[in-house]
Amino acid sequence: MPQSPKPKPPAGLANLTAEAGKIYYFRMRAFAFHQVFVDLDPVNADDGQYLVASSKMSESHPKKP
pLDDT of residue 2: 62
Distance CA 53, CA 59 (A): 9
Q: Where are the beta strands (DSSP E) in 2-64?
A: 25-32, 36-43
pLDDT of residue 18: 92
Distance CA 7, CA 32 (A): 14
pLDDT of residue 20: 95
- pLDDT (tens place) for every residue of the chain, 65 residues total: 567 666 676 677 788 899 999 999 998 888 887 778 888 889 999 999 999 999 877 777 788 88
pLDDT of residue 57: 77
pLDDT of residue 60: 73
Q: Where are the alpha helices (DSSP H) in the chain?
A: 45-54
Q: How far is CA 32 from CA 39, 43, 65, in A?
A: 11, 22, 34
